[in-house]
Amino acid sequence: MYPKPIRSKSSVSTTDKTQGVHLARYVGFFTLGYVLASTLFMLIQSKFALNAQLVVVISVLIGAFIAVHKFIKHQRRALNRSEANRLSVASVVVVWLLTALFFAALWLWVFDSANRTVFMEMVKLQPAPLLSALVLMIVLTLVSARLGILLFNRLLAPK
């Protein structure tokens, strides 16, 4: 009944491409890269002392590289700003959910009652340092993921 609006060819191609991209696969690539790099650094840390924050940042950068590289390889284009934001936040959420799952597994299968009691007393006596350290690690992970995704997106973008 009403005439269809006339759109230019370029606007149709960019909107159709960005609406159809599901980032779950690339969040998985990010997480896989992060877990593999973290595992490798755990093995290295058994021989050499490494800074924990440095290990987190390098692991996140490796995960960001893998996710952006796979996205550009599959989609043949760079991430736009909203996709980069969604990928970085979703990746950090998944990484920290896996970290919480890992800690729960340690709590249930590795810690005995004495270790649990000591940990609970430590949390009750001084919760602020533990909470601030957790928040700082989450922020560090989010910032390094965001910067890594933007950096690798710009470096690996097809010309």
Tell me the per-residue pLDDT of 44-68, one tens digit each, with 9 for 90 and over.
999 998 998 999 999 999 999 999 9
- Is 68 within the bounds of a domain? yes
- Is 139 within the bounds of a domain? yes
Q: Which tokens go with 19? A: 């609406």
Of 16-20, 29-33, 65-69, 116-120, the one with minimum mean pLDDT is: 16-20
- Is 3 within the bounds of a domain? no
- Is 21 within the bounds of a domain? yes
Domain count, the chain: 1
Residue 136 has pLDDT above 90, yes or no: yes
Its pTM stands at: 0.80
Question: Rounded CA gap, 158 and 95, in Å?
Answer: 28
Task: Determine the structural domain holding residue 30 and report its residue range.
Answer: 9-156
Q: Which tokens go with 84? A: 């980069």
> In sequence order, what are the residues at sequence separation of 6 or more whose Cβ sits closer than 8 angstroms to the Cβ of residue 146?
84, 85, 88
pLDDT at 13: 47
At position 67, the amino acid (one-letter code) is A
Tell me the per-residue pLDDT of 138-157, one tens digit each, with 9 for 90 and over.
999 999 999 999 999 999 98
- Is 2 within the bounds of a domain? no
